[in-house]
Amino acid sequence: MNYLSSGKSLIKKLLPKKWVSACGEFLYRQLPKKQDSLFFLLARVWYTILGDKLNARKMRILGIARPYSMVGRNGLVVTYDLAESLEQKQIQGAFVECGVARGGCSAIMALINAHHKSDRITWLFDSFEGLPKPTAEDEFNPAEFTPPGDRHSSDVQEGCCLGTYEEVSALMFSKLKFATDRVRLVRGWFQSTLHREKNNIGKIAFLRIDGDWYESTKCCLENLYDALAPDGYVYIDDYNSCIGCKKAADEFMQKRGIQAKLISDRRGGAYFLKSS
């Protein structure tokens, strides 16, 4: 029995719709953001006192990104650690995020590049219209259900997870002062933009996919995986949380004979290293 889903259904029945929306916004977005921001601030102070410059820098960057992210503390930490390791190992290629929402994870990737004075480009792909309409592959099917991937099309609706082009542009270029030749924002649906831009991207070191749905995930992998450098990372944000996303990734990996181990980020996503 899925107690979380049952609890959601009960709340929806007992409370007016606008109250449910307001409670959900506060409990699942605003409160965790405030808690995480305080954690990153205190951790930064602590590491600074200890003279641990590396972790102090990490907490500073995570603190900058948290107000602009929906992925939570673990997702931000994993994004940071993967990007930082690629810089440390000097793996060549762009950092690419497909599905940027308000830009938090993309900001982490670009800030790490800037710290290391890297010449790589951070690419941000998003419709900036929220999620597209789900397909039949995203619908709940008891015969195919494998825990923990239980989020499906009735839980996340079309237009959800919206971040606008204007607010992401303001974050990247006005607040964080990135040069437009180091951070590229590409507006449009993946099916239109990825095929068009993949040659301009060139080699990829870090591919972060956050499209929730089957078709979005499939499109990202089919268009960009072949450009991934050996020892580069693919991070699929919704692998362990969205049914269609997991299905698309599993099908792609099976079709390509990819034997890489998927490592959980302990919050609904998973990542793997492309073998050299």
The predicted-structure confidence for 116-161, as pLDDT tens digits, reads as follows 999 999 999 999 987 778 888 887 665 555 554 444 444 555 445 5
If we measure between CA atoms, which residue out of 203, 191, 227, 4 comes closest to residue 98? 191
| pLDDT tens-digit map of 179-203 | 999 999 999 999 999 999 999 999 9
3-state secondary structure of 28: helix
CA 153 vs CA 144, 159, 242, 261: distances in Å: 15, 12, 9, 27
3-state secondary structure of 175: helix
| pLDDT tens-digit map of 157-178 | 544 556 799 999 999 999 999 9
Contact 5, 142 (CB under 8 A): no
Percent of the chain's residues with pLDDT above 90: 70
Contact 244, 152 (CB under 8 A): yes
Pair type for strands 270-273 and 228-236: antiparallel
Cα–Cα distance, 51 to 215 (Å, whole number):
47
| pLDDT tens-digit map of 51-64 | 999 999 999 999 99
Give the pTM.
Answer: 0.85
Q: For residue 273, is pLDDT > 50?
A: yes
Question: What is the structure's pLDDT at 63?
Answer: 97
Q: For residue 37, is pLDDT > 50?
A: yes
The structural architecture, per CATH, of the domain 71-273 is 3-Layer(aba) Sandwich (3.40)
Q: For residue 209, is pLDDT > 90?
A: yes
| pLDDT tens-digit map of 85-99 | 999 999 999 999 999
The CA-based dihedral angle spanning residues 208, 212, 218, 221, taken in that order and rounded to the nearest 10 degrees: 0
If we measure between CA atoms, which residue out of 64, 59, 63 comes closest to residue 84? 59
Q: What is the mean pLDDT of residues 22-45?
A: 78
